């Protein structure tokens, strides 16, 4: 190999490493910028920052992923912001007030600009404070704004996660069964299922022995526990990206797990089993495995999607941490 080729390889590797470093720094920077805005709005309104962070996170994750990422993703209907009759969309706060618009000036320039992050967050705070500052008041305000129970539930769960970890940059993941044990899986999403009527398989089956630990793949809140005719003993976790993670056929739960609990990647939820396909207590109708499903919410509906590509990625991440 010539010196010129070696030099070219070294330069290419350096540029790739530098580009990755710059991307990571940019990503960290946008999280820092968001947190600073959330904290400033908290100081102005006395509403805890993690509620603004959760609302913003929810709205970001119902938008088209092809859109450029904004610092703040909260948006308001035009008529709500400017007021009925303000067809010219004048942004002076006094004019907006005249037209009974909700847009507020958050940075002290006298204008309520729906493209200004401080104005947007302050406006959301004022909408909340119309109902009061308590947790229950905030839930009522969110329901009146979004008119959807699942949206309120998701935002409150995300706020609980952010409050627990005092951070919004929560991107770590883990594999749903312990990689220290033997297991196998393939892409089974969409396969035909017959029990309970013809339907598709909404997940990936991870085969492992009885008792192999089942663990959280993500940061989130345990939203559902108990017996299901199809899934046996199962757990549902709502994460901070508007995704519901479904774990089924477990042999039981970890003693420390309870409904409403905040979890992080790697937290043990229970163990692999073969429960389900019958009334409570039914077990052994199929080999032991974990059924793992993922469901995305776009603010209007929730649907199943293939978890297999994510499992492959999280498996690599888990092995890299060993």
Q: Does domain 183-321 have CATH number 2.70.70.10?
A: yes
Q: Model confidence over 244-302: pLDDT tens digits?
A: 999 999 999 999 999 999 999 999 999 999 999 999 999 999 999 999 999 999 999 99
Q: Are 274 and 283 in contact (CB under 8 A)?
A: yes
End-to-end, the C-alpha distance of the chain in Å comes to 35
Band (20; pLDDT cuts 50, 70, 90): very low
CA distance 130 to 295: 33
Which range (62-66, 137-141, 211-215, 312-316) has the least confidence? Answer: 62-66
Instruction: Give the helix/strand (H/E) hosting 21.
Output: helix 3-45
Surface-to-core class of residue 278, CB atoms within 10 Å of its CB (0-12 exposed, 13-18 middle, 19+ buried): middle
Predicted structure pTM score: 0.87
- Output the CA angle 286-290-296, nearest 5 degrees: 125
Q: Which pLDDT value is given to residue 10? A: 44
With 70 as the cut, is the pLDDT of residue 14 above it?
no
DSSP line for 213-235: EEE--SSEEEEEEEEETTTEEEE
Per-domain residue ranges of the chain: 3-75+114-165, 183-321
pLDDT value, residue 82: 97
The predicted model gives 100-104 an average pLDDT of 97
162 versus 6: which is more confidently predicted? 162
């Amino acid at each position: 190999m010539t010196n010129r080729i070696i030099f070219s390889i070294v330069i290419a590797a350096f540029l790739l490493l530098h580009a990755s470093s710059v991307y990571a720094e940019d990503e960290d920077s946008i999280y820092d910028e968001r947190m600073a805005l959330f904290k400033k709005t908290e100081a102005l309104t006395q509403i805890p920052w993690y509620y603004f962070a959760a609302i913003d996170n929810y709205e970001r994750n119902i938008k088209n992923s092809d859109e450029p990422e904004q610092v703040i993703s909260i948006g308001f209907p035009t008529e709500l912001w400017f007021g009925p009759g303000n067809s010219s969309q004048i942004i002076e706060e006094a004019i907006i007030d005249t037209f009974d618009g909700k847009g507020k000036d958050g940075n002290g320039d006298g204008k309520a600009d729906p493209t200004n992050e401080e104005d947007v967050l302050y406006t959301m705070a004022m909408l909340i404070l119309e109902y009061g500052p308590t947790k229950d008041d905030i839930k009522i305000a969110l329901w009146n704004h979004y008119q959807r129970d699942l949206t309120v539930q998701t935002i409150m769960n995300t706020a609980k996660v952010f409050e627990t970890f005092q951070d919004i940059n929560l991107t770590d993941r883990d594999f749903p069964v312990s990689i220290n044990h033997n297991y196998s899986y393939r892409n089974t999403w969409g396969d035909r299922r017959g029990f309970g009527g013809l339907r598709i398989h909404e997940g990936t089956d991870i085969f492992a022995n009885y008792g192999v630990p089942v663990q959280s793949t993500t940061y989130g809140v345990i939203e559902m526990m108990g017996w299901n005719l199809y899934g046996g003993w199962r757990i549902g976790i709502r994460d901070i990206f508007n995704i519901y993670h479904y774990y089924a056929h477990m042999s039981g739960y970890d003693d420390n797990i309870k409904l409403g609990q905040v979890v992080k990647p790697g937290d043990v939820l229970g163990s692999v089993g073969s429960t389900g396909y019958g009334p409570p207590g039914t077990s052994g109708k199929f080999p032991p495995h974990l059924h793992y499903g993922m469901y995305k919410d776009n603010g209007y509906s929730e649907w199943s999607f293939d978890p297999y590509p994510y499992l492959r990625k999280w498996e690599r991440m888990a092995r890299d941490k060993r």
